[in-house]
Amino acid sequence: MNWEPSSLKTKSLPYSRQVIDEDDIEAVVRTLRSDWLTTGPKIEEFEKRFARDVDAAYAIACSSGTAALHLLYIANNIGQGDSVIIPSMTFLATANAVRHSGAEVIFSDVDPDTGLMNASHFKDAINRSTNKKVKAICPVHLNGQCVDLSSFCNEIDKIIVFEDACHSLGAFRLSRSGQKFRVGSCSLSKATMFSTHAVKAITTGEGGIITTNDENLALRLKKLRSHGVVRDKDLGNNELINLDEKNNFKQPWYYEMRELGFNYRLSDIHCALGISQLKKLKYFIERRNSLRQRYESYLKCLGKYVQPLKLVRNCTPAWHLSVALIDFDALCVSRTEVINKLRLLGIGTQVHYIPVHQQPYYRDRYGILELPGASAYYSKCLSLPLWPAMETEDVDFVMESLAKILGLTFEDNTSFDAKAN
């Protein structure tokens, strides 16, 4: 089938975008008119609401998902001489935060049909870690699905587990007995980190948040995100400096820097938006999941060279991305050509991600690695538009356009509506 752009209507559909309503705007405006723009009460309110919503004891808000990862490594004393295992199919920040802490990265392969690492990939990474002290592992819950952490339990000994859940706020992990645990509840990990970037499940504009059930870790994370400074009730042991010499009163301005920290704070303005967004999280997830299910119905009907992501067991996903796995070589079309033709129709797409181990910095540092699962996933993945304010008809338009560009027809010639319902 010949494709002609003039034969199809056009729209404006980015691959993802934030959804901001009047309630969000009013929440931010109220904070702008308040006495606190930063280091105020909205931060603690956001943290408490977030922790409650993921069934965690503590939440620590910070300036970005990258900052959250960096804080986690520093707060757990991961540094020079240590190594952290991460999957290669992730955003750069997952690896970069390890390097910023002074530790080394050991890249894990992933399943080519899901982009997720599993226990066998972990074993392979451990086997490649000769003479390297593996201190932590950071599985990535990609696209909205969960890594099966329970499969790692017998393999991990004295290795700290962190979860990178930037894509999976609102997802559930299912135990072998069928019990449901929210991603972020840290039932099998020391901590979980999320991103609240503009295109994530909820947004604070930029931002990140860490959840944990470890009180001491939570306290250290809060200290490190604000220059390493402690005040008032957190002091307790430097009375000689903290006393007014003349009147023997505690000095109300007094603070101490116990260790070298960072300015990784999130402001009250950002947190006001986050609080408002959290109220809509359930709807956002339900809408994303519904749209993604419609995509899946279409993708299953385009033949063997186009497929949706394989669903993983032991997970109730909260879809962040709708990924099509397309064998571009078999269809004799390049991914670049498909992306450009979709763009002409106003349809934005993206590739998540270039395997991190293939980036020049990491290739120069660790040499050329053969990770066939990550390479296979990367060669086929294409993220289609998915965000809560999309209309059902937008999915139909995207899939009709994609099919024509690929020169495919839906199997048995059933109509789009019938196939999707």
Give the whole-angstrom CA distance, residue 207 versus residue 66: 9
Alpha carbons 386 and 288: distance in angstroms, whole number: 7
Which residue is associated with the tokens 């992306």? 339
Amino acid identity for residue 281 in this structure: L
List 42, 200, 223, 341, catalytic entry: 200
CA dihedral 397, 398, 399, 405 (to 10 degrees): 110
Active site residue 279: no
CA 62 to chain centre: 14
Phi, psi of 106 (to 5 degrees): -115, 115
CA torsion sign for 282, 42, 29, 199 is negative
CB 302 within 8 A of CB 131: no
Measure the CA–CA gap between 133 and 76, rounded to whole angstroms: 15
Contacts of 47 (CB under 8 A, 6+ apart): 58, 59, 60, 61, 209
Q: Which amino acid is at 272?
A: A
Q: Which residues of 340-362 are buried (b: 16+ CB within 10 A; e: fewer)?
A: ebbeebbbbbbebbebbbbbeeb
**Nearest partner of 288 among 355, 200, 221, judged by Cα:** 200
Q: Which residues are catalytic?
A: 200
